Structure 1
Amino acid sequence: MNLSQIDAFCIIADTGSVSEAARQLDCNRTKLSMAIKALEKELDTQLFIRSGNHLSLSEAGKAIYKDCRNLLVTESRIRQTCVQASGEFNAEVWIARDDSLPDELWQDLAHRLNKQFSATSFNMALASSGDLANLVVTGQVDFAFGVDYERINDPNTTSQPLGKIRMMSVCNATHPLSKLRRVSDNELRNNMQAVMVYLNEKDNPELQPLSIQHIGFSSFDYILNSILTEGAWGVLPEPLIRHHLRNQDLAVIKHTYGLTQEDYCMFSLVGMNEHPGMTWLADKLNEYLFDF
């Protein structure tokens, strides 16, 4: 068993076709078929069920697919680490992130990332939390970081939790809702809400507005500004608003679900060659969230 056979197995499993896999790998179709037959012979098991020109994974194939993918990811990491250590690595990495964590933190991490991995160009784009996974799936960015609202179960995407982030239902400290000892659903419905919206076409019940009147933004910062200046209420991440709570500009709404927790994640494609810089960045974000 060798890594070229494992690679062929995974590509054929993804495409369901030897011809398409050969096209993607830019190799001979016959050579690819022989590699799979050799792998099946060595493992003494049938990995694919053949139906005409289409191939689907057998039960044994399904059982080993994830491990095979992990082998390829490990191989890629080893190669990239060695190249990085020799100073030859050169790449461009696109990153999307939401604004659930303070800009000051991201500016600091971006500068440190750039200094530590100077052979790589890092491009960071601000995006709505709900669009992060979709930006990775569609190939618009390589990695994304933010609150995992989608909780997608896409076989092509991984969502690696880096820590928990507390979400708070808040309003301006002078808002009538802040004076109530207990706030009902009906009272929330009758007050203007600032909500998170995103471009991804998938419906997400968790992001549906509760209030009859609402205004939507793709940025937590815009939601915050609307709460501070326009008399709205909304749900915001604690790291973004801690200083406003300390200064008593904002008040936490005393509602049953006034405080919740969400996963803060790194999104990437399954089998994506993880740049060492992204491992470093994920570790730093994990440390920040743990200390927070």
Structure 2
Amino acid sequence: MELRHLKYFLAVAEELNFTKASEKLFISQPPLSRQIIELEEELQAKLFIRNNKKVELTEAGKYFEKEVKTLFQNLERISLKTKKIAENVSGEFRIAYISSIYSAVISDLIKHLKIQFPYVNFKLFEVSTTKQIDALEQGKIEMGIIRSPIKSPKIKSHLWFQDGFSIVFNKNNIQLKSEKEILNLKEETFVFFNKDYAPHYHEVLLELCAFYGFTPKIIHEANNINSIVQLVKNGLGISIVPSNIAKNNQDPEIGFIELKKVNLRTDVSIITSKEDESEITKAAVNFLLNKSGLR
């Protein structure tokens, strides 16, 4: 069995059409059909059901497709890591972060790493937690900063700090002086993170509102914490955001009230690959863990 057999198989599995698959692979259809037959004979398993109208994967074919995709992902990861080892401490180092934790600490991290590794091109990406986990598993980033929980056997997690929550509101529209007045907000409209973008975080916000005795009227949703704060500033509602946002926001129109009564916090974690033992990764993680930063 050769890699080309697997590539040809994936092309047919994705297209479910031999003509389209052959066009995609820039080969004629007869050689493609022969390669698939050779593969099936070697595996002693029928991978496709073929008739005049359509091509379908058999149950064995569906299983094989899933495993072959994983195999190619691992090959890509191995290739990237091999290249990185060969480059030693040159090349790229990609760091992803969620919008709700960006601060001067991350800028300080890049400056610190550039001094230690001057030949490395450091890149920052604002990416959701779910996409960061996928990217790290596939070797597309070297480090991520997320809000836990995380469930992946391929990833190592380091707790950076725990964050509380605060109500954020426009001072010109709403008069709010203390946490005791939170229930007065039950008739207000809310701006929340999109449920599909950050499902765990969305659920936490609903739990917070339930604790204070009301269900929020969610009118607007956004995928970026800065967009949420801007919508609040524009008078389109109020929101609940991580408390560290208040430390980085000096806008006189925006007010924050920390929710201290409820014992609910989120873990902000640094994630790396379990297989990554590079000096750059160790230096980056140690810098953040030793920095008080947002804590």
1:78 aligns with 2:78: yes
Aligned to 2:176: 175
2:240 to 235, 238, 248: 235
CA-to-aligned-CA distance 1:122-150 (integer Å, 9 cap, x gap): 765557x59x86xx9xxxxx7797879xx
Aligned-CA RMSD value: 5.7
Please state if 1:221 is matched with 2:226.
Answer: yes
Query: Deviations along 1:56-108, whole A, 9 cap, x unmatched?
Result: 221111223222112112222333333333349x9999987541222334435
Task: Provide the rounded CA distance (Å) in 2 between the counterparts of 1:117 and 1:27.
Answer: 45
Cα distance, 1:109 vs. partner? 5.3
Q: Assess, with a 3 A threshold, how the Cα gap between structure 1 residues 70 and 115 changes in structure 2: closer, same or farther.
A: farther
Q: Is the 8 A contact 1:171 1:232 kept in 2?
A: no
Map 1:107-186 onto structure 2 (within 5 A). 107-108=107-108, 112=113, 124=124, 126=126, 129=128, 169-171=165-167, 175-176=176-177, 178-180=179-181
CA contact (8 A) 1:100 1:146 kept: no
Partner of 2:20: 20
Task: Name the CA shift for 1:7/1:85 in 2 (closer, same or farther; >3 Å).
Answer: same
Distance (whole Å) between structure 1 residues aligned to residue 267 and residue 29 of structure 2 = 46
Q: For the residues of structure 1 that align with 2:8 and 2:118, how far apart are their CA atoms?
A: 32
Matching residue of 1:271: none
In the alignment, the residues of structure 2 paired with residue 20 and residue 13 of structure 1 have an alpha-carbon distance, to the nearest angstrom, of 11
Per the alignment, do residues 87 and 58 of structure 1 end up closer, same or farther by CA in structure 2, a change over 3 Å counting?
same
Stretches of structure 2 that go unaligned for 5 or more consecutive residues are: 135-139, 170-174, 210-214, 250-254
Partner AA of 2:24 in structure 1 = Q
Q: d(CA) in 2 for partners of 1:109 and 1:212?
A: 39
- Give the residue type in structure 2 aligned to 1:193: F
Letter in 2 for 1:236: V
Please say if 1:191 is aligned against 2:203.
Answer: no
Structure 2 match to 1:9: 9
What residue identity is the alignment partner of 2:18?
Answer: V
Contact 2:12 2:21 in 1 (8 A): yes
The answer as to whether partners of 1:192 and 1:231 remain within 8 angstroms in 2 is yes
> How far 1:228 sits from its partner (Å)?
8.9
Is the alpha carbon distance of 1:24 and 1:231 closer, same or farther for their aligned partners in structure 2, counting shifts above 3 Å? Answer: closer
Whether the aligned pair in 1 keeps the contact of 2:166 and 2:242 (CA below 8 Å) is: no
What residue identity is the alignment partner of 1:22? S
Instruction: Note the alpha carbon deviations across 1:208-241, whole angstroms, 9 max, x for none.
Output: 9964586665531354577799796423245545
2:257 alignment counterpart: 250
Q: Return closer, same or farther for 1:64/1:28 CA change in 2, 3 Å cut-off.
A: same
C-alpha contact (below 8 Å) 2:164/2:258 kept by paired residues = no
Partner residue in 1 for 2:42: 42
The 1:231–1:61 alpha-carbon spacing in structure 2 relative to 1, beyond 3 Å, is closer
How much does 1:263 deviate? 9.8
| Separation in structure 1 between the aligned mates of residue 56 and residue 270 of structure 2, nearest angstrom | 31
Aligned-residue sequence identity (percent) comes to 18
User: Normalising to structure 2: TM-score of the pair?
Assistant: 0.55
Q: For residues 77 and 179 of structure 1, do their structure 2 counterparts lie closer, same or farther at Cα, with a shift above 3 Å needed?
A: same
- 218 and 69 in structure 1: CA distance in 2 versus 1, 3 angstrom threshold: closer
CA 1:51–1:223: 2 relative to 1, 3 Å? same
The unaligned stretches of length 5 or more in structure 1 are: 137-141, 149-157, 267-275
Whichever residue aligns with residue 179 of structure 1, its letter is K
